Amino acid sequence: MTSEGQQWEVRAVTAAPNVPDNCFVVSLAEDNMGDGEYLIFQARLTEPSGQDRRLEMDSYCIIAKSGGVNYGGLEGVSVDTSEVILDFNEEAAEELSLECRRVVLGVAGEVDVSLLSSGLKRVLRYGNPDRFPRFSSPFGFD
């Protein structure tokens, strides 16, 4: 596993509640059709249950195109108008089948970076505070 890599360019972002599934979803995608790479970040709309805590599923969830799933595996996030830097812990990188722990994604000019940043802020501050990543953004985090 390498230490860092430019994986792909984010060209499509969604950030919205999915009420039927009781979660807030942020997707970063290479295209709008779902053919390219993507990462999906989810947080429940309700507080974690006792069972969630026992199963260590009391944090945000990350889903990769590979089908891999991880809970609370980000150590740091940096968002600006040209790139998103995601620092994953070792377990998350393995579970999500990432080539490296640090993923640097380009951001296309048409992307609403404010929506991307505010959506990630909402999801990544869910649940267990021990799993909140460091966050840097010109749009703030608190």
137 lies in a domain? no
The pTM (predicted TM-score) of the whole model is: 0.92
- Please determine, for residue 120, whether its predicted confidence score (pLDDT) is greater than 60: yes
In a 3-state reduction of DSSP, which class is residue 140? coil
What pLDDT is stored for residue 131 in this prediction?
95
- Please determine, for residue 93, whether its predicted confidence score (pLDDT) is greater than 90: yes
> Among residues 78, 58, 52, 32, which one has the least CA distance to residue 125?
58
What pLDDT is stored for residue 110 in this prediction?
95
Distance CA 44, CA 61 (A): 9
7 lies in a domain? yes
Q: For 23-76, write each residue's pLDDT tens digit.
A: 999 999 999 887 899 999 999 999 999 998 998 889 999 999 999 999 999 999
Lookup result for tokens 């970040």: 41
38 lies in a domain? yes
Q: What is the domain extent for residue 24?
A: 2-129
Structural domain count of the chain: 1
Contacts of 19 by beta carbon, 8 Å cutoff, 6+ apart: 45
- Please determine, for residue 5, whether its predicted confidence score (pLDDT) is greater than 90: no
What pLDDT band is residue 132 in, cutting at 50, 70 and 90?
very high
What pLDDT band is residue 142 in, cutting at 50, 70 and 90?
very low
Distance CA 102, CA 84 (A): 10
